[in-house]
A and B are shown apart, each in its own frame.
Chain A
Amino acid sequence: MAEIRTETMTVNMGPQHPSTHGVLRLVLELDGEFIKSVMPTIGYLHTGIEKTAEQKKWQQVVPLVERMDYLGAQSNSLSYVLAVEKLLGLTMPQRVNDIRVLIAELQRLASHLIWLGTHAMEIGAVSMLFYAVRERELLLNINELIAGFRFFPSYFRVGGLREDLPRGFHEAVNAFLERFPGKIDEFEGLLTKNDIFRRRTEGVGALTLEDAFQWGLVGPIARACGSDYDVRKYFPYCGYESYDFTVPTATEGDVYARYRVRVAEMRQSVKICQQAIQRISPSGVWACDDTRVVPPPKDKVYTEMEALIQHFLIYSQGFTVPAGDAYVPIEGPRGEHGCYIVSDGSNRPWRVKMRAPSFMAIQALPSIVQGGLIADVVAVIGSNDVVMGDCDR
C-alpha cells in the first residue's frame, strides 16, 4: 500500500476578518480540520496612547484612556481617575461614588451586550446582534444624556464628575432597568437551551483554573473555571462593599460556561444599578471639595478674587500630583482593568500604563484552541471577549 503523504496547511486569518473583533491576525497551522498551532500577531491598533498621555495634563488624560477599550470606555477612565485620586489622597462624597458605581455597571451591561450579540452572531445566531444592539442603544442614549457623547462620555473626572446629573436621568435609567431583565430572559430563551448553540459551545475551548491563573486571566474567564475572584468583592472600590450582589461562577471552563457566567453577571449588574439609583438623589454634590483639583463654582469666580485665581490656575496650569506611583484595579467588563501611574510631582503624568485584560486573553489563545477544530477558533475568540483597542492600546 502506498504511503499516505501528510502535510499541514498554513492559513492566514485576519487582520480584516469579521470575527476577530477588530484587527487581530492569526496564522493557523492546520492538520485537516484540526489546529496544530496558532500564532497571533497584534499591534495593528497600537496608537501610543500611553506615550501621548505623558504630554498631557492629568485631567486631559481621561478622554485618551477611554479610547483604549472602546466598548468598556468608562472602566478605563474609572481606574485612571481612582489611581490619580489615590496619589492625591482624595476621598469622594457618597453620592459621587454611587453615581460612579451606577455608570460603571451600565457600562458593563453595554459591553456585555456587544459581546453577546457578536459572539452569538459568529456562531450562527445572527439575529442576536440586532436584539442586543437595540438594548445597547438605550444605554448609549443615557451616555448622551449625561455628557452629550455616546461612546466616550469622559464623565468621570479626577476629583469627581464632570457636572451634575441632567434632568430626566432617573427616568431614563429606571425605564431601562425595568425593561432589561425581561430582555435577558428573552436572550436566554433564544440561546441557553438552543441545541445548535450548545453543540457549538459545550466542551469547546475548555480551560482549567490553574491554566487561567498561569496565563494571568482573571475576570469572567477565570470565574467560568470556578474562581470567585472579583475585584469588587476582593478589593472593593467606590463603596461596592455596601451593595448586595453575588459573583456568578461556573466550573466547566468552556465557551458555554463563559456565556452563562456573563449572562448571570448582567443580572447582577441590573441588581446593583437598581440599588444605586435608589441612593442617588436627582441633584446634589458631584465633586469633592478639594480646591486644588475641582474648580470653584462659577458665581464665586465672578465675585471672589481667590476663586478667580484658582479657576485660572486649574484651567491654565492644571494641578500637580505628589510624586509616587499607584496602581488601582477595578472589575471591568473583560476582567481586571488597572491603571498604573507614576508621578514626578508635576502637572503631567510621568508614566501611564493600563493593564489590559484582552492582551492577556489573546496571549492565552493558542493554548486554548490548540488541538481543536478550526471552527472553534471563532467561538473561543468571541467567548474571550477581546477588544483590540484594549489589547494594543
Chain B
Amino acid sequence: MEAAAIIESLQSAVPGAAYEVGHSVDMPTIYVPAEHLAATCRALRDLPALQFNVLIEVTAADYLPRDPRFEVVYHLLSVPKRYRLRLKVRVAANGTLPTVQGVWRGAGWPEREVWDMFGIVFDNHGDLRRLLMPEDWEGHPGRKDYPVQIRKSAQTYEPLEVSEAEFRANIERDRQKRTH
C-alpha cells in the first residue's frame, strides 16, 4: 500500500491533520504533525483496512544543525495485512511528543530509551526515567553535540559501614518487629 493511499484513509479518521509523504527506498513513510500523533496511531491500529497491530520500534535521529532538530521514527507492522509503515515526527530541540502507550503498550520502554538518549520528552508517559544510562547520568549521549569519548573519573561508593553495636541494635529491632 502506498503512503498516499494510507494518508487518504487516515484523512476521514483524523480530520484536520496535515500529513506529508516522505521519501523512502524501503517502505511507505509519512510525516505526522506532533499534535495529531496519538489520534493517528489509534486510527492506524483500528482502521479495518490497515490494522497496524504491532509497534516494531521507536527511535530518533538528531539532525543538528537542522531545525527542527530531531526526527522521531516509529516503525509499524500490520500482521493481518502484511504492511509496514514508517511514521516520522519532527521535534524541535525543546519540543515534546504525546506518548503512544495507550495504543501499543510496548511503546513504554522504547520511548524511555529515546528520552534517555536524546532528551525528547513524551507527555503523560508516567515512567520517564533513565533506562540504559545510570540514573545520575548527565546529558543525552545520542545527541550529535554529545562527545563520543569523555574523560570522567570512576565513581566509587563507600560500602555501608555499620558498627557492631548498631548491627546488634538492628537485629534486635527486626526481631521485635517480627514478634510484634
Residues of A within 8 A of B (CB): 42-43, 46, 48, 50-52, 54-55, 86-87, 89, 213-218, 227, 229, 234-235, 324-329, 336, 338, 340, 342, 350-351, 353, 355, 359-360, 363-364, 392-393
Please state if B53 and A55 are interface contacts (CB–CB under 8 Å).
Answer: no
Given contacts A43-B131, A215-B105, A218-B54, contact A87 B25 (CB under 8 A): yes
Q: Say which one of B9-17, B56-64, B153-161, B168-176 lies at the interface with A.
A: B56-64
| A327/B131 contact (C-beta < 8 A), A227-B79, A353-B59 known | no
Q: Is the Cβ of A213 less than 8 Å from the Cβ of B54?
A: yes
The reply on B27 being an interface residue by CB < 8 A is yes
A340 and B75: CB pair below 8 A?
yes
| A-B CB proximity, top 7 nearest | A216-B106, A43-B132, A46-B132, A363-B109, A215-B106, A351-B61, A355-B57
Q: Is the CB of A235 within 8 A of B105?
A: no
Proximity string of chain B (46-86) to chain A, C-beta cutoff 8 Å, 1 when within and 0 when not: 00000001111101011000000000010101010010101
Q: Inside 8 A of A213's CB, which chain B residues have their CB?
A: 53-54, 79
Q: Knowing A216-B56, A329-B56 are in contact, say whether A43-B133 is a contact too (CB < 8 A).
A: yes
List chain B residues, Cβ under 8 A from A218.
54, 56, 77, 79
Are A325 and B24 in contact (CB-based, < 8 A)? yes
Contact A342 B132 (CB under 8 A): no
**Which residue of A51, A234, A324, A326 contacts B141 across the interface (Cβ within 8 Å)?**
A51
Contact yes or no, B56 A336, CB < 8 A: yes
Name A51's contact: one of B55, B77, B113, B148 (CB within 8 Å): B148
With a CB–CB cut-off of 8 A, which chain B residues contact A229?
A: 79
Q: Which residues of chain B come closer than 8 Å to A46, judged between CB atoms? A: 132-133
Main secondary structure of the interface of A (DSSP, over half): mixed
B126 interface residue (CB < 8 Å to A): no
Q: A355 to B110: give the CA distance in the assembly, Å.
A: 10
Docked CA distance A274–B117 (Å) = 43
A-B contact pairs, 25 of them (CB 8 A): A42-B132, A43-B133, A46-B132, A51-B141, A51-B142, A87-B25, A213-B54, A215-B105, A215-B106, A216-B55, A216-B106, A216-B110, A218-B77, A229-B79, A234-B82, A325-B24, A326-B24, A326-B26, A340-B59, A350-B61, A355-B57, A355-B75, A360-B109, A363-B106, A392-B132
B25/A324 in contact, CB under 8 A: yes
Closest-CB distance, A170 to chain B (whole angstroms): 34
Other-chain residue from B73, B75, B108, B142 in contact with A363 (beta carbon distance below 8 A): B108
The minimal Cβ–Cβ distance linking A87 to chain B, given in whole angstroms, is 6
* Nearest chain B residue, comparing its CB with the CB of A211: B105
Residues on the B chain within 8 Å of A353, using CB: 57, 59
Q: How far is the CA of A78 from the CA of B108 in the complex (A)?
A: 28
Q: Smallest CB–CB gap between B137 and chain A, Å?
A: 10
Residues in chain B near residue A342, CB distance under 8 A:
61
Of the candidates B25, B56, B57, B146, the one whose C-beta lies within 8 Å of that of A86 is: B25
User: Quick one: closest A residue to B147, CB to CB?
Assistant: A51
- Shortest CB-to-CB span from A325 to chain B, Å, is 7
8 extra interchain contacts, Cβ-Cβ under 8 A, other than A51-B146, A340-B59? A43-B131, A46-B132, A216-B57, A326-B24, A338-B75, A340-B57, A351-B61, A353-B57
How many angstroms between the C-alpha atoms of A50 and B62 in the bound complex? 13
B126-151 CB mask vs A (1 if < 8 Å, else 0) is 00001111100000011000101000
Structural contact, A326 and B25, CB atoms closer than 8 A: yes
A326 to B29, CA, bound (A): 10
Cβ of B104 within 8 Å of any chain A Cβ, yes or no, is yes
Instruction: Please tell me if the beta carbons of B56 and A338 are within 8 angstroms of each other in the complex.
Output: yes
Q: How far is the CA of A326 from the CA of B105 in the complex (A)?
A: 25
Contact A214 B27 (CB under 8 A): no
Cα A87 to Cα B107 with chains together (Å): 27
Query: Max chain A CB contacts within 10 Å: which of B75, B77, B134?
Result: B77
Separation of A86 and B24 alpha carbons in the complex (Å): 11
Within 8 A of A (CB), among B87-120: 104-110, 113
Q: Smallest distance from the beta carbon of B23 to chain A beta carbons, Å?
A: 7
* Shortest Cβ distance from residue A137 to the other chain B in the assembled complex, whole angstroms: 33
Shortest Cβ gap from A217 to chain B (Å): 8
**Contact assessment for A364 and B26 in the assembled complex, using a CB-CB cutoff below 8 Å:** no
Q: Which of B25, B26, B131 has the most CB of A within 10 A?
A: B26
A327 touches B26 (CB 8 A): yes
- With A42-B131, A43-B133, A55-B148 known to touch, is A216 a contact of B54 (CB < 8 Å)? yes
Chain A contacts for B110, CB-based, 8 A: 216, 359
Q: How far, in angstroms, from A229 to B54 measured CA to CA in the complex? A: 11
Per the bound structure, the CA–CA distance linking A336 and B56 in Å amounts to 9
Chain A min CB distance to B90 (Å): 14
In the complex, chain A residues whose CB is within 8 Å of the CB of B104: 214, 216
- Residue from B53, B56, B84, B141 within 8 A of A48 (CB atoms): B141
A328 to B84, CA, bound (A): 11
**CB closest chain-B residue, reference A82:** B26
B26, chain A: closest CB distance, angstroms: 5
Chain A positions within 8 Å of B82 at CB level: 234-235
